[in-house]
Homo-oligomer: A and B are copies of this chain.
């Protein structure tokens, strides 16, 4: 049986190119004692892959999470038909001893996690609302933005996998939610499907003007997915003792490290508004991971949390899905169905 994987062939220089990857087709090795053969069902593409790729060696499989199914098992903990979520990377088939799996992001052991019954919810959500992006939204907002009912929350990248959840959880918690996204269709989605109080297309509306209209008394909480000039503008509109969770900086991920993006400095706002800003990587909450998943699943069941997926069909489409993140082409969570 043949398997396919994308090898990280060349470190990105600016915007990732298809030629930075090499598609390798190879025989799937036999399953030895203690090993399991996993077959990918959905592979995730996420913005973090761009900056984290700098840490991986060329010649190795491209990093990433996937939902996979056990098709053969010689390990007592995994049986045929089990579905898992794991950091296997961009590959269709994976043979390994699950106890020895290593997450290349931090070089720590990372056992494939057997998914519970999702009760009709697509397994792909284990890569989205019921996985890393869902917990990024839930923990980032609740732990770092310290939101209080009645406060004003701004989120950018608001139609994305994380942003759309941040805004909706903000609404559930009783905040006034304002979103920025990059197209009129996305803005419509934010207002109509996700119930944002206000939403703007940052490509056609000045961010400062928008916030003067929608939050004349200032912004209490800012969940930042974008970074750069837009973030400086939002930060300049914050209220005394505002809180900023810095989750992503997608506007800058393709920068030349020698020519970083410049933006208006934020220190004067930080000082005179006495703002608090904290950057985070969601793995800091691994010890309470399932709390976030359970809470988001409950919100979904109660009809309070909606989610969108942009599904690309076919393993070869991974690059298109990935580059779509930087072109703003995806709405909600982008996944590749294998």
Q: Are A262 and B260 in contact (CB under 8 A)?
A: no
Interface size class of A (residues with CB under 8 A): 35 or more
Give chain B residues whose Cβ lies under 8 Å from the Cβ of A71.
none
Give the residues from 213 to 231 in chain A that come closer than 8 angstroms, CB to CB, to chain B. Answer: 224, 227-228, 231
Give chain B residues whose Cβ lies under 8 Å from the Cβ of A227.
265, 267-268
Q: Are B270 and A279 in contact (CB under 8 A)?
A: yes
Q: Are A265 and B268 in contact (CB under 8 A)?
A: no
Q: Taking the complex as formed, is A51 at the interface, i.e. its CB lies under 8 A from any CB of chain B?
A: yes
Q: Are B261 and A265 in contact (CB under 8 A)?
A: yes
Query: Chain A interface secondary structure, helix, strand, loop or mixed?
Result: mixed
Question: Using an 8 Å CB-CB cutoff, how does the interface string of A246-283 with B read, 1 for contact, 0 for none?
Answer: 11110011000000111111111111111111111100
Give chain B residues whose Cβ lies under 8 Å from the Cβ of A264.
260-262
Partner of A270, one of B232, B246, B274: B246
Interface residues of A (CB under 8 A from B): 51, 224, 227-228, 231-232, 246-249, 252-253, 260-281, 284
- Apart from A262-B262, A274-B278: 20 A-B pairs, beta carbons within 8 A: A51-B268, A227-B267, A228-B267, A231-B265, A231-B267, A246-B270, A252-B267, A260-B264, A261-B265, A262-B264, A263-B265, A270-B278, A271-B279, A272-B281, A273-B279, A274-B280, A276-B276, A276-B279, A277-B277, A277-B278
